[in-house]
Amino acid sequence: MAEKNSFFIDGKNLSKEALEKKHKLENDPSSRTNHMEYMPGMEIIESDICDKVMSEMNSYDYTKYTAVDVRNALDKEKCSIEDFKALLSPAAEPFLEEMAKRARLETSKHFGNTVYLFTPLYIANYCENYCVYCGFNCYNDINRLKLNLDEIDKEMSVIAKSGMEEILILTGESREKSDIKYIGEACKLARKYFRMVGLEIYPVNTDEYRYLHECGADYVTVFQETYDTDKYEKLHLFGHKRVWPYRFDAQERALRAGMRGVAFSALLGLSDFRKDALASALHVYFLQRKYPQAEMSLSCPRLRPIINNDKISPLDVHEKQLCQVILAYRIFLPYVGITVSSRESKTFRDGIVKIAATKISAGVSTGIGDHESKYDGKEQDTKQGDEQFVIDDGRSLKTMYDDMENAGLQPVLNDYLYV
Ligand code: SF4
């Protein structure tokens, strides 16, 4: 197991020393650790995936692509890396309708008219990291909470009663507050209620992923946030998350540990979204070739709402550009799952699931311990933790299911038998 290599700071009543450290981290780059250097206890694996992805991303000059390149890419049966680069470029913006037609064809070839439904469950929101764009960061004064096993059981039973069969467990990123044993127990409970159990937790070593898999976890989601290592350094100032390469290899460690599937994402808008979209898709592409048995999926969140705008210099990604990214993903990676976050509007999600996305969350709450009040309208006696971000599409499972059916899609709660 990895050693504990960071500590939890309580954003409430920060000491003078803690405030000074925060100020220094923000203003003096030499006070920060090397973001490319592993911390003690972090497993290093031999892998060529990172070099392949980064060399493609670093040499990607999307301004050189023309309408002719985009037309050629759309005319080909199989989309190459070069074609994908053209589809992500500004030259493809006038071709969105044609890209949508092609994407819809690829989606129906590989997924029929199905759309998978799942819900996230935040069981804790403690975090040891200082990501400057996130309200959950360790220096922020928010209501922190960690559910005990009885409370997790109760939340899961409420969600399961709604008919949901797939759950994604999230913890925030504090190894100290939400240790592997705790997450493992949550997986065991989830296995009682759900047929598919996903995890979105801090990256861990292979032996820890193996343990979590034995406890019932099927797949692991890790957001790389940005593949631009210089920007990453400026945005992740403190904590284990600061170590970029350890995060990059998380999915590969999870697959080596026997996880059935892995999910990837960049937070579009933190850096150049075209380069981040290219790197995310290539991360999937190269790993898929190495682990052909694994299920892989991509998420496409955009940065919102944000704090510390002055430090981040966010690069806005408009709906049209997000749409271009998703369509390009689908054409390049026809059989990879694409998830659309509830941060996006109902209108956008309803449109994109008919064309390219295959997975959508429903009955979403990003708070802690509030499912009973949200699902059953009951007053809850327990304290509730703050929400990480505001969601735009708050449809319940029933409403989402009905909406998908009415749109001519086939909502799927699960297609997996646990053996
Ligand atoms: S983005 Fe994740 S790791 Fe970073 S501060 Fe927020 S909750 Fe913590």
For the stretch 5-16, pLDDT in tens is 445 676 777 888
Q: Which residue has the higher pLDDT, 406 or 380?
A: 406
Using the predicted structure, report yes or no on whether residue 232 has a pLDDT greater than 80.
yes
The pLDDT confidence band at residue 411, using thresholds 50, 70 and 90, is very high
- Cα 144 to middle of ligand 1, angstroms: 13
Using the predicted structure, report yes or no on whether residue 1 has a pLDDT greater than 60.
no
The pLDDT confidence band at residue 394, using thresholds 50, 70 and 90, is confident
**pLDDT number for residue 339:** 96
Span of 255-269, 287-301, 405-419 with lowest mean pLDDT: 405-419
The pLDDT confidence band at residue 366, using thresholds 50, 70 and 90, is confident
Ligand 1: nearest atom to the Cα of 202: 3
Is the minimum distance from the CB of 301 to ligand 1 under 6 angstroms?
no
Q: Which residue has the higher pLDDT, 2 or 9?
A: 9
Average pLDDT over residues 55-75: 98
Provide the mean pLDDT of the chain.
Answer: 91
What are the angstrom distances between the C-alpha of 354 and each of 12, 93, 106, 265, 343? Answer: 45, 20, 12, 21, 18
Residue ranges of the domains in the chain? 3-412
CA dihedral in degrees (304, 309, 314, 319; nearest 10)? Answer: 30
What is the reported pTM?
Answer: 0.93
**pLDDT number for residue 384:** 62
Q: What angle do CA 211, 212, 218 make, to 5 degrees?
A: 130
How far is residue 133's CA from residue 297's CA, in Å, rounded to a whole number?
Answer: 24
Average pLDDT over residues 10-23: 83
Using the predicted structure, report yes or no on whether residue 3 has a pLDDT greater than 50.
no
Is CATH 3.20.20.70 the right assignment for the domain spanning 3-412? yes
What are the angstrom distances between the C-alpha of 274 and each of 61, 176, 271? Answer: 10, 36, 9
**Minimum CA distance residue for ligand 1 atom 1:** 134
Span of 63-77, 283-297, 308-322, 395-409 with lowest mean pLDDT: 308-322
Ligand 1: nearest atom to the Cα of 130: 5
Q: What whole-number percentage of the chain has pLDDT above 90? A: 77
